A and B are shown apart, each in its own frame.
Chain A
Amino acid sequence: MSLEQHIAEVAAANPGVRIDCYVLFSSHTDAMQMYDCLRGAKLNARVSTTPRQARSSCGVAVLVPSSEALQVEEVALASGIPYEGIVALPCQIDPKRDVYC
């Protein structure tokens, strides 16, 4: 399945909800390199924790809006920086949830 199809599928399953994409890595150094690369390309990348819905353990991810995901994929592939995949998820962020750790 292409990234475009994956995002469309997640969006269809979550109508009315913003879809975010997480670029996943096997090392934080790769993640930070990719972050710098994407920011250099003027894309709206942010360093993030890896959501449990994307992977079962902690780690550094790069969060990008789904609207830029295809460009992100293009830049990521061209960069040669290793990454494990791009996972689309319904927005995981809720500032009024008030659940802390």
Chain B
Amino acid sequence: MAEAIDRHGLWADLGMDLETHDVLCSVLPQAFGDVYLSQENRPEGMAFWDMVVADVHGIRPQELVDAQAQGQKVFGTFCTYVPDEVVIACNGIVTGLCGGSQFWVPEGEKYLPADMCPLIKASLGARFGKTCPFFRIVDQIVGETTCDGKKKMYEIMAEDVPMHIMQLPQMKRPQDFKAYAEEIALFAKNVEEVTGVTLTEENLAAAIKTINERRKALARVYETRKNPDVIPISGTDALLMMQIAFFDDPVRCAQMANQLADELEQRLVDGVSVFPAGTKRILITGTPMAIPNWKLHHIVETSGAAIVCEENCTGTKFFTNLVDESQTSFEGMFQALADRYMQIHCACFTPNKARIDEVLQLAKDYHVDGVINTNLKFCTTFKTEAPALEKALEEAGIPVLDIETDYTDNDAEQLRTRVGAFVEMLG
């Protein structure tokens, strides 16, 4: 055996449980190899994201620690409704924290009911189990009032780490858009206090541009997936890009996504597809897929179908719609931010018909043959709106498969059977 790269000093300084964390480290290479390195003809541009995963608890955490040493503050978030722009404007750093591994779930269940969604349990487990450097690095966590499970989890997590909660309206009336602008203004005060940096119209405008550029770059990659004849990138690879976008530097993320988009656009010209002609095209909708949750994508794409779009937080919700850059006052910019973020159609809103309309539109735009509506176990809001979504899809003549799963491996074979039958049914 060769000499080990030593990240243990970094992790020890962060107060991590090194022995338990090492168990997690030991399973990642095999899972990554099975899911990612088994694919053929992947875009060269994926090398960057492969590198990030290969040292996922080393490279970016070290960057964050180095930034903290220079006086920057790190904000951990769990939701696409939290406006990164405000943090970036005050020279802060945003890192997404959602837990996507079963490894963290048992630790979370020590504090939370077992019948709660695995994303929430894994997130608390990662913090309390001291087995994720990102959770140890953050100076403050930004929670939000999306689902009841997260709200109650934040109360428990707040005993261990500074926490700011954003009140997210759950209806989309004009007064709700205004209320969220006011909430963003309150968040800005909090960010100023934590960072010690004054928010100005200039730095906020610059941050809005920065995050818009990231959105445009990610959207360019997705745009190439709309081509009805050539699939230039697998859904599994696109998912990885999106998962890492949550914690990478936004400028670098845009740069790498644009480079990937250049390559994919050329693939469209050259007719280079990662799937054989005629492969059935699937849109995934539903609950988010936090890193390293690759299970469903991998099963679908090794069962004869290709995923061409994800309508979820680790997909289109993250980058669709830009923030209006024409505003120059705080009031105008806060409202512009609220207007953009309130166009995300999460199941925590009522009514939420806009999500159904969006899925129908995306199904058309991406030329899909079928939709898989996926739900993390115990996510009541997404589960409750599943029948309405399925009815709308059926009325539009789009076959749909409803899947409820979690982070465990136990149902993989059953999922393979169900997905395989669905793909076969698509013809």
Instruction: Point out residues on A near B: beta carbons under 8 Å.
Output: 24-28, 31-32, 35, 39, 46-52, 54-61, 63, 84-85, 87, 92-101
Which residue of chain B has the shortest Cβ distance to A39 in the bound complex?
Answer: B44
Q: Within the assembled complex, what's the spacing in Å between the Cα atoms of A27 and B5?
A: 7
Q: In this assembly, does B317 line the interface, its C-beta being within 8 Å of a C-beta of chain A? A: no
Which residues of chain B are within 8 angstroms of A96 by Cβ–Cβ distance?
302
Establish whether residues A101 and B31, one from each chain, have CB atoms under 8 Å apart when the complex forms: yes
User: What are the 5 tightest A-B residue pairs by CB atom distance, in nearest-first order?
Assistant: A98-B412, A95-B38, A49-B29, A47-B50, A60-B54
Q: Which residue in A27, A51, A57 is a CB contact (below 8 Å) of B4? A: A57
Establish whether residues B4 and A52, one from each chain, have CB atoms under 8 Å apart when the complex forms: no
Which residues of chain A are within 8 angstroms of B295 by Cβ–Cβ distance?
98, 100
Q: Could you tell me the distance in whole angstroms from the C-beta of A93 to the nearest C-beta in chain B?
A: 5
Q: Within the assembled complex, what's the spacing in Å between the Cα atoms of A28 and B62?
A: 12
Q: In this assembly, does B374 line the interface, its C-beta being within 8 Å of a C-beta of chain A? A: no
Main secondary structure of the interface of A (DSSP, over half): loop
Contact A93-B34, Cβ < 8 Å, known A46-B50, A100-B294, A101-B292: yes
Question: 8 Å CB contacts to A: which residues of B38-82?
Answer: 38, 42, 44, 47, 50-51, 53-59
Given A52-B29, A100-B298: 4 more A-B contacts, CB < 8 Å: A46-B47, A51-B29, A55-B3, A60-B54
Which residues of chain B are within 8 angstroms of A63 by Cβ–Cβ distance?
37
Establish whether residues A58 and B58, one from each chain, have CB atoms under 8 Å apart when the complex forms: yes
Contact A24-B2, Cβ < 8 Å, known A99-B34, A101-B31: yes
Establish whether residues B413 and A98, one from each chain, have CB atoms under 8 Å apart when the complex forms: yes
Establish whether residues B2 and A51, one from each chain, have CB atoms under 8 Å apart when the complex forms: no
Q: Which residue in B32, B103, B293, B298 is a CB contact (below 8 Å) of A49? A: B32
Which residues of chain A are within 8 angstroms of B103 by Cβ–Cβ distance?
101
Which residues of chain B are within 8 angstroms of A27 by Cβ–Cβ distance?
5
Establish whether residues A59 and B55, one from each chain, have CB atoms under 8 Å apart when the complex forms: yes
Give 27 CB contacts A-B under 8 Å. A28-B59, A46-B37, A47-B51, A47-B54, A48-B37, A48-B50, A49-B29, A50-B54, A55-B4, A57-B22, A58-B28, A58-B56, A58-B57, A58-B58, A59-B54, A59-B55, A92-B30, A93-B38, A94-B34, A94-B38, A95-B35, A95-B298, A100-B407, A100-B409, A101-B30, A101-B101, A101-B292
- Identify which of A27, A31, A48 gathers the most chain B CB atoms within 10 Å of its CB: A48
Q: In this assembly, does B33 line the interface, its C-beta being within 8 Å of a C-beta of chain A? A: yes
Which residues of chain B are within 8 angstroms of A58 by Cβ–Cβ distance?
5, 7, 25, 28-29, 54-58
Q: Which residue in A26, A35, A94 is a CB contact (below 8 Å) of B3? A: A26
Q: Could you tell me the distance in whole angstroms from the C-beta of B236 to the nearest C-beta in chain A?
A: 11
Establish whether residues A26 and B5, one from each chain, have CB atoms under 8 Å apart when the complex forms: yes
Q: Which residue in B1, B28, B58, B412 is a CB contact (below 8 Å) of A56? A: B1
Q: In this assembly, does B102 line the interface, its C-beta being within 8 Å of a C-beta of chain A? A: yes
Which residues of chain A are within 8 angstroms of B4 by Cβ–Cβ distance?
55-57, 59
Q: Could you tell me the distance in whole angstroms from the C-beta of A13 to the nearest C-beta in chain B?
A: 16
Establish whether residues B31 and A52, one from each chain, have CB atoms under 8 Å apart when the complex forms: no
Which residues of chain B are within 8 angstroms of A87 by Cβ–Cβ distance?
2
Establish whether residues B3 and A52, one from each chain, have CB atoms under 8 Å apart when the complex forms: no
Which residues of chain A are within 8 angstroms of B37 by Cβ–Cβ distance?
46, 48, 63, 93
Which residue of chain A has the shortest Cβ distance to B100 in the bound complex?
Answer: A101
Instruction: Point out residues on B near A: beta carbons under 8 Å.
Output: 1-8, 22, 24-35, 37-38, 42, 44, 47, 50-51, 53-59, 101-103, 292-295, 298-299, 302, 407, 409, 412-413, 416
Q: Could you tell me the distance in whole angstroms from the C-beta of A39 to the nearest C-beta in chain B?
A: 7
Which residues of chain A are within 8 angstroms of B302 by Cβ–Cβ distance?
95-96
Q: Within the assembled complex, what's the spacing in Å between the Cα atoms of A54 and B416?
A: 31
- Identify which of B8, B34, B42 gathers the most chain A CB atoms within 10 Å of its CB: B34
Establish whether residues A57 and B33, one from each chain, have CB atoms under 8 Å apart when the complex forms: no
- Identify which of B44, B413, B416 gathers the most chain A CB atoms within 10 Å of its CB: B44
Q: Which residue in A55, A61, A95 is a CB contact (below 8 Å) of B1? A: A55
Which residue of chain B has the shortest Cβ distance to A92 in the bound complex?
Answer: B33
Which residues of chain B are within 8 angstroms of A52 by Cβ–Cβ distance?
26, 29-30
- Identify which of B5, B34, B59, B407 gathers the most chain A CB atoms within 10 Å of its CB: B5
Q: Which residue in A24, A32, A39, A49 is a CB contact (below 8 Å) of B28? A: A49
Establish whether residues B409 and A99, one from each chain, have CB atoms under 8 Å apart when the complex forms: yes
Establish whether residues A31 and B51, one from each chain, have CB atoms under 8 Å apart when the complex forms: yes
Q: Within the assembled complex, what's the spacing in Å between the Cα atoms of A18 and B6?
A: 30
Which residues of chain B are within 8 angstroms of A61 by Cβ–Cβ distance?
54
Which residue of chain A has the shortest Cβ distance to B59 in the bound complex?
Answer: A28
Establish whether residues B33 and A100, one from each chain, have CB atoms under 8 Å apart when the complex forms: no
Which residues of chain B are within 8 angstroms of A94 by Cβ–Cβ distance?
34, 38
Establish whether residues A101 and B24, one from each chain, have CB atoms under 8 Å apart when the complex forms: yes
Q: Could you tell me the distance in whole angstroms from the C-beta of B92 to the nearest C-beta in chain A?
A: 25
Which residue of chain A has the shortest Cβ distance to B25 in the bound complex?
Answer: A58
Contact A28-B55, Cβ < 8 Å, known A46-B50, A95-B34, A101-B292: yes
